[in-house]
Structure formats: C-alpha cells, structure tokens
Structure 1
Amino acid sequence: MQVLTLPAACGWRWLIDGFRIFRRNHLMLTLLIISYWILMALVNVIPLIGPIASTLCIPAFSVSLMNACRNIESGAPLGAPLLFSGFRSNLRSLLILGGIYLAATVGILAVSALADDGALMQMLLAGQKPDEEALASGSLLLATQIALFLLCPLIMAYWYAPVLAGWHGFSPAKALFFSFVACARNWRAFLVYSMAMLLVATVLPALFVGLLVALLPDGAALLTVLLSVSIILVLAPTLFASFYVSYRDVFVATENDA
C-alpha cells in the first residue's frame, strides 16, 4: 500500500467529487445514513452498555458506508443489507479500533479534567450542564482547547484506519499508523478540505438564512428549519462520500498487497 502526497487543491476536489457520488444515488445513500443515525440513537438509549457498544461499532459502520460509496462509483446496486456489510470482514480488528478510540477519548477528557475539575468530561459523557464558576473562570474553555489539541492526532490516526483494517486486513496498530502518516503527508489538502467544509456547512447557510430573514421575516423560522434539514440531508451524505474519495486518491495498491 502506497501513500501519495497530494496538492492542497485536492482538498476542495474531495468535497466536489463527494457531492457527485451523492447525486448518482442520493436517495439510497441518504437512507443508509439516516438508518445508521437512528440505529446508533436506539443503541445509545441503553444505559451504560449502549454508548460503549455504539462506539465499538462505529468503525464497522464506517466501512459499511464506504462500501456504499464504492458501490455507487462502480455502478453496483445498493440495498439496506449494505448497512451491515462492514461487519462481515475483519470484525475483530474493527472492534479493537473502536475500543482504542473509546479509551483514547476518555483518556483525553481525563487530561482535560485537570484544567476544569472534570466539567467538560461530565458535560460530554453524562450530559451534565457545567456550573457558572467553570464558565466564568474560563476553565471550561481551557479544557476544551486542551481536548481539541489532543484529539487532533487521534483523529488523524483514526481517519482511514477502519477502511484499512476492513478492506485490506491491516492490524489495528498498522491501520492507525498508516492513517496518521497519510494525514500528516497531506496536511495541506486536509486544511483546504476543512476550510471547504466550514464554508459549505456554516458560512453559506448562515448567509442564506440571514437573507431569508431579511426578505421574509414572517416565515423566517419555518424556512430556517426547512433549510437546516435540507442542508443536513445533503451535506452528511456528501461528507461520507468525500471520505471515500480522499481514501481513493491518497492510497494506491501495489503489487505486494494481498
């Protein structure tokens, strides 16, 4: 497996090509993603076990959605069973990746707790509202900054790891290593990709909503809700498809690959 170093402009093209894949079978891809969200929400309802089980299964579901995008690009059919296709190969490695991600996230939150006495951890894990003292003192903001700083290398290691384990049979450690190296080599493309997502997901919708409020003040609330739902139903499948496009562009199989 060879990791390519791509120019920065590829980051914008990932999003564009992701939208093209979405347009080729927008209904089924959106249905699969919504089904994934509903299933994860139902599992999370189960006390204690639910959040742990859902996190462990995220890598397998990630492979399932990558399978869907690959099928769309190749013209293969899509169906509801495809949502669970990621559980059919190298499931042990995928579950281990989910466990590593869960343990690393909890560890990062534990480190951030040194700055705010655990306010951020309690808010994210238990849904407990932070007290006024943590907000006023800025300790919650400091803890959030620490957590984001430590999450960055974790996300880089995890970005491609599920598909490397699920499609190529990499061990969890090897998948995490190759994913981190791929992201580090292509940091320029990922920077442009992040800026493109920020522009498409927040800046442009905010400008459009502001225009609606100015032109149609009476129906602005309803239009804002409808616009937000529409953006989510288009943007989420596009982002999942762009993940696949970035993998397709960054990784190239070699003759030595099994």
Structure 2
Amino acid sequence: MRAQTLPSGAGWRWLAGGVAIFRRNPPMMTMLVVAYWFTVIFLNLFPVIGALAASLAIPGLSVGLMQAARNLERGQPVGLQTLYGGFNENAKTLLALGGLYLLCTLGVLGVTALVDGGDFLRYMLASSRAERAAVEDADFLLPLLVVALLMMPVLMAWWFAPVLAAWHRQPLGKSLFFSFVACWMNWRPFLTYGLAMLLISVIVPGVLLGVLLLLLPGLQELLTALIMAPMVLVVAPIVFASFYACYRDIFGISEIV
C-alpha cells in the first residue's frame, strides 16, 4: 500500500469527484447521509453511554458511506444496508478507532482547562442550557486555538484510518500511521480542499443568506430554512462523496482488497 503525493489542484478535483458521484443517484446518497446523522443522534439520546456508543459507531458508518460512494461510482447496487455494512470487515479495529478518537478528543478538551480554568470544557460537556449560560460569557478564543492546534494531528491520523482498517485490513496502529503520513504528504491539496469546502459550505451560503435578508428582512427564519435545506440535502452528500474521491486518488483503486 502506497500513498501518492498529489498537486494542490487535486483538492478541487476531490470536490468535483464528490459532485460526480452524487449525481449518479442524488436521492440515495442523501438518504444515506440523513440516516447516518439520525443514527448518531439517536445513539446520543442515551445518557452517558450514548456518546460512547455514537463514537464507537462513527468509523463503521463512515466506511459504509465510503462503500456507497464507491458502489455508485462503479454502477453497483446501493441501499440502506450499505451504510451499516461498514462493520462487516475488521469491526474490532473500527470500534477501537471510535473509542480512541473519543479519548483523544476528551484529552484535548482537558488541555484547554489549563488555559482558561475549565470554562470551555464545562461549556462543551454541559447537558442543559442553564449550565451553558453559566459560562457562555467567557472568552473562548484561546481554548479554541488550542483545540484547533491539537486536533489537527488527530484528524490527520483518523482521516483515512477507518477505510484503511476495513478495506486494507490494517490494524489500529498502522491505519492511524498510514493515514497521518498520507495527509502529511498531501497537505497542499488538503489545504485547497479545505478552502473549497469552506467556499461551498460557509461563504456562498452566508453571502446568499445575507443578500436575501437585506431584500426580505422580515423573513429570517424562512430564509434560513431555505438556505439550510440544500446544505443538508445536496452539499453534505457531496462532501461525504468527496471523501471517497480523496481516498481513491491518494491510495489508488488498485489498492482496494
């Protein structure tokens, strides 16, 4: 298994690849992404154990979405069972990836307590509006910078790890290592990719919403809903599909077991 180093422009192609995959079956890709979200939300409804269950499930569900994107690109059947079929290969490693990611995230949040006395940590772990209101006036700029800095290597290690574990049968350590190295080798296209996603998911919707609010100032809730609907039904599935295009170009489809 060898990761390729791609030029900066590859980041735009990944997003274009996501669009091409989405266009093959928009209703199916949208349904699977919505089912992914509903599954995670449902698991989080259970006190305490829900967050752990959701974290354990996310790597397998992510592989399911990658499998759906691959099947759509190849013209193969896709159904709801594809989403939950991600656990069929190397399930133990996928569960371990989810649990370890949760521990790393909590560890990063714990570090922020050293710079702000724990206000940001209390805000993130708050279970009610009253608990959030008690610390919402605190300055979160510094802890957010700490989170961004420390979570970057974590995200790099986990970006490809689930699919490497499931499709390439890589153990926990190797899947994290190869994912980190692949992201490090391709930081330039990932930077372009991040800018592309920022453009379609934040800047364009934000500008459009701002213009509409200037023209129709009394319809804020309706206009916000009209902008969010395409984000959920179109942009999000395209972004998820682009994750597969990213993997495909860096590792090559010939590497798939």
TM-score when scaled to structure 2? 0.93
Give distance in 2, aligned partners of 1:110 and 1:230.
36
Equivalences for residues 13-162 of structure 1 within 5 A = 13-127=13-127, 128-129=131-132, 131=134, 135=138, 138=139, 140-162=140-162
Q: How far apart are 1:154 and its partner, in Å?
A: 0.2
Q: How many residues align?
A: 254
Give distance in 2, aligned partners of 1:194 and 1:231.
17
Contact 1:64 1:82 (8 Å CA) reproduced: yes
Contact 1:119 1:134 (8 Å CA) reproduced: no
Q: How far apart are 1:216 and its partner, in Å?
A: 3.4
For structure 2, the residue ranges without an aligned partner over 5 or more in a row are none
Q: How far apart are 1:60 and its partner, in Å?
A: 0.5
Per the alignment, in what secondary structure is the counterpart of residue 2 of structure 1? coil
Q: Which amino acid aligns with 1:227?
A: I
Deviations 1:162-221 (Å, cap 9, x if unpaired)?
A: 000011100010000000000000000000011111111111111211222233344454
**Percent of pairs with identical residues:** 46
Contact 1:62 1:162 (8 Å CA) reproduced: yes
Contact 2:11 2:192 (8 Å CA) reproduced: yes
Give distance in 2, aligned partners of 1:238 and 1:254.
23
Deviations 1:214-239 (Å, cap 9, x if unpaired)?
A: 33344454133112121222111111
Rate the CA distance shift 1:80–1:177 in 2: closer, same or farther, 3 A: same
Give distance in 1, aligned partners of 2:216 and 2:135.
37
Deviations 1:69-110 (Å, cap 9, x if unpaired)?
A: 000000001111112111111000101111110111111111
Per the alignment, in what secondary structure is the counterpart of residue 77 of structure 1? coil
- Paired position in structure 1 for 2:247: 247
Rate the CA distance shift 1:161–1:208 in 2: closer, same or farther, 3 A: same
- Paired position in structure 2 for 1:178: 178
Q: Which amino acid aligns with 2:198?
A: L
What is the alpha-carbon root mean square deviation over aligned residues? 1.8
Q: How far apart are 1:126 and its partner, in Å?
A: 2.8
Give distance in 1, aligned partners of 2:253 and 2:206.
41
- Paired position in structure 1 for 2:231: 231
Q: How far apart are 1:118 and its partner, in Å?
A: 1.7
Runs of 4+ aligned structure 1 residues displaced above 6 Å come to none
Per the alignment, in what secondary structure is the counterpart of residue 96 of structure 1? helix
For structure 1, the residue ranges without an aligned partner over 5 or more in a row are none
Q: Which amino acid aligns with 1:192?
A: T
Per the alignment, in what secondary structure is the counterpart of residue 204 of structure 2? helix
Per the alignment, in what secondary structure is the counterpart of residue 3 of structure 1? coil
Per the alignment, in what secondary structure is the counterpart of residue 170 of structure 1? coil
Q: Which amino acid aligns with 2:157?
A: A
Contact 1:62 1:86 (8 Å CA) reproduced: yes
Deviations 1:31-83 (Å, cap 9, x if unpaired)?
A: 01111111111111111111001101111101000000000000001111112
Rate the CA distance shift 1:219–1:105 in 2: closer, same or farther, 3 A: closer
